[in-house]
Amino acid sequence: MTDLTTTDRPDQTAPHEAADPDRPVHPLSAGHEHRPDEPRFDGRRGRWVGASVPRREDPRLLTGRGRFVDDIALPGMLHAGFVRATVAHAHVTDVDLSATREVPGVVAAFDGADLALGDIVAILDRPPEEFTPTAMPVLAKGKVRFVGEPIALVVASDPYAVEDGIEAARVSYDVLDAVVSSASALAPGAAVVHEEAPDNVLLDVSMFDTPGVDEAFAEAAGDDAERSSTRRGCVVEVTTRSGRQNALPLETRGAVASWDARDDQLLVQTCTQVPHQVRTVLARSLGIPERTVRVTVPDMGGGFGQKCVVGREEIAVAAAARRLDRPVKWIEDRREALTAGFLAREQEYRTRAAFDADGHITALDVDVVCDMGAYSCYPFTAGIEPLMASAEMPSVYRVPAYRVRGRAITSTKAPTAPYRGVSRPQYVMAIERVMEKAARALGMDPVEVRRRNVITAFPYTGINGVTYDPGTYRESLDLAEATIREEGWFEARERGDRHLGIGFCCFSERTGYGSEAFAKRKMTVVPGFDISEIRMDTTGSVVVTSGTMNHGQSHETTFAQIVADRLGLDPEQVKLRQGDTERISYGWGTFASRSVTIGGSAVALASERLGELLCRIAAHLLETRPENVALDGDGGVVQLDDPSRTRSGAEPDPSPKRLSFADIADVAHLRAHLLPKDVDPTLTATASFDVPGDGTFSNATHAAVVEADPGTGQVRILRYVCVEDCGVVIHPQVVDGQCRGGIAQGIAGALFEEVTYDDQGEPSAASFIDYLVPTATEIPDVSIAHLETPCAFTANGAKGAGEGGTIGAPAAVLNAVNDALRHTGVELDTTPIHPGTVLDALEGTS
Amino acid sequence: MNDPHLLSLTVNGAEHEVVVEPRRTLADVLRHDLRLTGTHVGCEHGVCGACTVLVDGAPTRACLVFAVQAEGADVRTVESLARDGELSDLQRAFGDHHALQCGFCTPGFLMLAEGVLAEQPDASREDIREALSANLCRCTGYQTIVDAVHATACSRRETERSGARPVDWESCS
Ligand code: FES
Ligand code: FES
């Protein structure tokens, strides 16, 4: 039994001891070209991967020497802010900035017509009946579609003057009806948000409709007279809803833009998860060559998806900097972040499922409606959430017949971006509610129902056409349940003296979508690959690049571990560079748990290539055959038949046949005439990586024990257990951190946070007073156990670990609350769960 | 009323004079006038605690204080914690426990924790959790922050018991 009180990794800080103390050949140095169908991960472990080494990021962040966007100050820098819409839906009849321009300190004010920027447009390659493209202007053009939409930009000498300037702006509106819910958006005669989509539907896709769906429902409902009534299955129906949420990085969005005449380049320093996409869109919007834009990313205070789409504000600020030829800074304030930043999560699932009498699911029929808000985000489009849900809805279960309709609707609320988990918290909640309801209908144990349906044989190709690589679905479920059982929680619940409830959630998560998987969604901009370049300098230390973008996930540490193992270096000798479009030719940034799976693989492959190059040069210098040398795991290359290494007990050879990396690097840079004829000077290698096919799935089971307070209806989480499998763990502490942080955000969505609006579309949670972010007293300690199913086709055997926590928590908590309320007959299917609702249930008034 | 004031205050042991508008916050003075950008701003309305500094020893939200209110005060920021390039015990504990991911909330938590540990040297883990609920972190789920501060509390108590010189935080300048 895994001990859940620890992470089951006794060695938390020291690097792994080498299996063979002599280490004649570094185990990962053998280099050969991989065929595409060949497994990448060969099961060999290094010295650093798997160890919780001290984080490279920590010293600067702990001493206040990190550099975040708002820490940047440039000579002559101006400050910017936005005049934003004060109504949810209106034609803008006039924008008057004349008084603004008179405010002391104000340098300039621009509206959409002044800047004349190209729109941000994200498109799916789908027919018009499935997808309607819409444009997001950088500054509103003639119409506003949510409270907070940027209309004009005010630039001033200091942020206080910016505020005064914004206050002096006058905007006239011809107000239209607000569209504040998916129901009202779809109602006949609803106000139209985008003329291109008169029905307010941006995406409407029906998928699968496999044979046997209706038959299975008929049979489960007992319509089949052949079946005896004692062997009847059941049909369960549930409508689950999740409230609109804010991903809420603690650092708000922001940008500092400046024009560099010498570089002939606009430098945009901004906290984005996708610097290259910002560059691409920015260049197109301004109508300038992409080489004249450089996007760099300083330290970033979280993102969670909110910063993985291209925002309009950074483009406006860049345009102003170019126009004024002065550096311009914009830092989003918290009110803007809560009301006008990219939001997420507001979805409704109407799910029907048929089960046979033994608790096997026989059919699934789902209608998903996602309220995407006012605009489609770049590059993912408004289709991302319903398409994700439709493709992956069967989750970890063997579903034999499946039908789904997914819709993205537009409303007059701030637009959405793919927040950590992207529809998975919602569809997992839907299907996990289905499991619970079926268990009740059939009089079975809910964990047992899951057990009977969960995928156990891999690879498994589901009804959705997706192939799932091996995982520990059943094992994680068993371990989570056994832990809760052994701790006595079931008995405590049975005593009945408290309102205790136990909830489970079993799920998997496709991590590191490759180009092939994204192309299946029919995106016209297809993320997927990642690249890495590695360079060794004359001292033998290395700089490695990645197109991924750290914002708390510890890439500087974990990628250094990967490189260190591949080359036989200390991680301290490895420096990661990310977030600079001049250093990395193209990349897709960090989202969808792709960094270690894809970026980490590219980094590993580039390192291997550099290792091969080092070996080749060393063989030449040692005057031996290339096969006769290998990396020695300690910063050098050895000659394999070197007599000084094999003579036992004898005096060491006075001149061992070994060259350090510094020796080789010295030749490669400073004495290039000594290089082999067919080797170019300097030491660089590049590699790219893309996940083949359907990608790799991490999995987990979460278990929550909650207590509902009969006096207040408050839900307290007494115990939280997470059993997860993300393949090979590069850095155990970091993976635990991702789990815990994700779970906290999932709990936030389950119990606390919701972005709400009044009938006019005015957001009613514009500060932390109304948007309830949980603190240390609301988030419980979480015990984590790791199972490990190495991924066969990533270079390190790792699967993604960034999102899982967020995915499992809402369903686990919701199921636990329903369990606590089981005696009341009330079932809740909406998050966040409000204390008042729980209280009503307990008091029998609901 | 918007006339600039000449403000003098001590920050991390050094005396400063700054000309400020009355509406300028202490956070802005620290970050932008004195360029001590370790103190972060996450909400500007007193809830997130990212801007927490010690003013005369007490944890204070620098975004809620006008700089002029800090006239003559002794202000400590995150930049004062490490000595001669050595991390403090609390900073080391944050690293050891992986109590920071993006690090944006970290300076605020460090300064809050210094205040809490000074006020409640005998705090239990639950006391510490309660006290730390004053600040927000979006990355960690808080558990490791509580662990780090609790570990520091325990080791400081141990140091005191064993008679070794306790960390004399106030005298460090
Ligand atoms: S910035 Fe001061 S409390 Fe949030
Ligand atoms: S570490 Fe990112 S907010 Fe706390």
Intra-chain end-to-end CA distance of chain B, in Å: 35
* CB pair distance less than 8 Å for B43 and A334: yes
A139 and A56, same structural domain?
no
- The answer as to whether A181 is a domain residue is no
Handedness of CA A754, A758, A761, A762 (dihedral sign): negative
A586 and A473, same structural domain?
no
Tokens representing A741 are 């942080």
Looking up residue B152, the CATH number of its domain turns out to be: 1.10.150.120
Q: What is the mean pLDDT of chain B?
A: 93
B71 and B93, same structural domain?
no
Cβ neighbours of A250 in B, within 8 Å: 40, 42, 48, 50, 102, 104-105, 136-139
* CB pair distance less than 8 Å for B139 and A58: no
- The answer as to whether A353 is a domain residue is yes
Task: Indicate the residue of B78, B101, B133 with minimum beta-carbon distance to A741.
Answer: B101
Task: Indicate the residue of B42, B81, B91 with minimum beta-carbon distance to A250.
Answer: B42
Cβ neighbours of B81 in A, within 8 Å: 62-63
Q: Which residue has the higher pLDDT, B173 or A215?
A: A215
Which residues 701-760 on chain A approach chain B with CB closer than 8 angstroms? 733-734, 736-737, 740-745
How confident is the model at residue A686, as a pLDDT?
96
Per cent of chain A over pLDDT 90 is: 87
Q: Is A170 helix (H, G, I), strand (E, B) or coil?
A: strand
Pick the ligand that lies closest to the CA of residue B141: 2
Longest CA span, chain B: 56
| For residue B167, pLDDT beyond 70 | no
- The answer as to whether A541 is a domain residue is yes
B128 and B153, same structural domain?
yes
- DSSP states of A615-639: HHHHHHHTTS-GGGEEE-SSSEEEE
The Cα B66–Cα A812 span in angstroms is 45
A775 and A634, same structural domain?
no
* CB pair distance less than 8 Å for B129 and A776: yes
A728 and A811, same structural domain?
yes
- The answer as to whether B52 is a domain residue is yes
A701 and A677, same structural domain?
no
Looking up residue B56, the CATH number of its domain turns out to be: 3.10.20.30
* CB pair distance less than 8 Å for A743 and B103: no
B143-156 pLDDT per residue, tens: 999 999 999 999 99
B159 and B96, same structural domain?
yes
Supply the DSSP symbol for A599.
Answer: I
* CB pair distance less than 8 Å for A741 and B138: yes
Of the candidates B32, B50, B79, which is a domain's last residue?
B79
Kindly give the distance from the C-alpha atom of residue A550 to the centroid of ligand 2, in angstroms, as a whole number: 13
- The answer as to whether B64 is a domain residue is yes
Kindly give the distance from the C-alpha atom of residue A11 to the centroid of ligand 1, in angstroms, as a whole number: 38
A234 and A258, same structural domain?
no
The interface predicted TM-score (ipTM) is 0.94
Looking up residue A33, the CATH number of its domain turns out to be: 3.30.365.10
The Cα A718–Cα A235 span in angstroms is 33
Supply the DSSP symbol for A670.
Answer: H
A684 and A716, same structural domain?
no
Task: Indicate the residue of B100, B102, B130 with minimum beta-carbon distance to A777.
Answer: B130
- Nearest-Cα distance to chain A for B53, in Å, is 12
B94 and B73, same structural domain?
no
B118 and B65, same structural domain?
no
- Find out whether A478 and A472 touch, Cβ atoms under 8 Å: no
How confident is the model at residue B30, as a pLDDT?
98
- Nearest-Cα distance to chain A for B125, in Å, is 11
Tokens representing A466 are 């997706």
B53 and B99, same structural domain?
no
For an interface test with B, which of A9, A53, A63, A273 has the most B Cβ atoms less than 10 Å from its Cβ?
A: A63
For an interface test with A, which of B94, B138, B150, B152 has the most A Cβ atoms less than 10 Å from its Cβ?
A: B138
A767 in contact with B at a CB cutoff of 8 Å? yes
- Nearest-Cα distance to chain A for B59, in Å, is 17
A167 in contact with B at a CB cutoff of 8 Å? no
Of the candidates A689, A723, A744, which is a domain's last residue?
A689
How confident is the model at residue A229, as a pLDDT?
53
A156 is in which domain, residue-wise? 69-176+252-300+307-339
For an interface test with B, which of A103, A250, A306 has the most B Cβ atoms less than 10 Å from its Cβ?
A: A250
B149 and B93, same structural domain?
yes
Q: Is B76 helix (H, G, I), strand (E, B) or coil?
A: strand
B125 is in which domain, residue-wise? 89-163
Range A320-344 burial, b when 16+ CB lie within 10 A, else e: bbbebebbbbbbbbbbbbbbbbbbb
How confident is the model at residue A584, as a pLDDT?
94
Task: Indicate the residue of B24, B39, B102 with minimum beta-carbon distance to A300.
Answer: B102
Tell me which residues of chain A have a pLDDT lower than 50.
1-3, 5-37, 654
Q: Would the CB of B69 count as within 6 Å of ligand 2?
A: no
Preceding peptide of A198 cis, ω within 30°: no
- The answer as to whether A478 is a domain residue is yes
Number of domains composing chain A: 3
Of the candidates A317, A339, A361, which is a domain's last residue?
A339
- The answer as to whether B172 is a domain residue is no
- The answer as to whether A14 is a domain residue is no
- The answer as to whether A49 is a domain residue is yes
Of the candidates A339, A362, A395, which is a domain's last residue?
A339
Show the ligand 1 pocket: residues with CB < 6 angstroms: B 41-44, 46-51, 61, 63
A249 in contact with B at a CB cutoff of 8 Å? yes
- The answer as to whether B84 is a domain residue is no
Number of domains composing chain B: 2
- The answer as to whether B12 is a domain residue is yes
B49 and B99, same structural domain?
no
Candidates A813, A195, A296, A181; CA nearest to A545 is A296
* CB pair distance less than 8 Å for A776 and B132: yes
A781 and A702, same structural domain?
yes
B74 and B95, same structural domain?
no
The Cα A530–Cα A800 span in angstroms is 15
Tokens representing A138 are 């950088």
- The answer as to whether A114 is a domain residue is yes
Q: Would the CB of B149 count as within 6 Å of ligand 2?
A: no
- The answer as to whether A10 is a domain residue is no
* CB pair distance less than 8 Å for A302 and B101: yes
Q: Would the CB of B137 count as within 6 Å of ligand 2?
A: yes
3-state helix, strand, coil in chain B (%, to 5): 35, 15, 45
Kindly give the distance from the C-alpha atom of residue A552 to the centroid of ligand 2, in angstroms, as a whole number: 8
A149 and A35, same structural domain?
no
A468 and A409, same structural domain?
yes
A75 and A221, same structural domain?
no
B97 and B71, same structural domain?
no
The Cα A377–Cα A199 span in angstroms is 19
